[in-house]
Amino acid sequence: MSTGIFPFAVYIHKRFFFGGQLAAFMRRALTDTRWPAKLRILPGLILYRLEFYDAVCRRLDELGE
């Protein structure tokens, strides 16, 4: 659980965020120059977390879990 990977978190990610529009929105926000530079780190952190969970979910699906 210290990594943030536990069954409930994976379920929530698969149900609401897996390959979804939120990642596309965060990618657009990263390139949007209207955001102040200090705030542009937030979409990057969120996108990193989403892509991390996407990779975990894909691997779990490959393993059949």
pLDDT, tens digit, for every residue of 32-62?
778 777 777 888 888 888 888 888 888 888 8
Against a cut of 0.75, is the pTM above it? Answer: no
> Quick one: which of 3, 41, 4, 48 has its CA closest to 22?
48
pLDDT of residue 10: 76
The pLDDT mean for the chain works out to: 78
Q: What is the mean pLDDT of residues 9-22?
A: 74
Could you tell me the CA-to-CA distances from 11 to 6, 27, 40 in Å, in that order?
9, 23, 28
Could you tell me the CA-to-CA distances from 54 to 20, 43, 58 in Å, in that order?
10, 16, 6
Rounded CA-CA distance 26/62 in Å is: 26
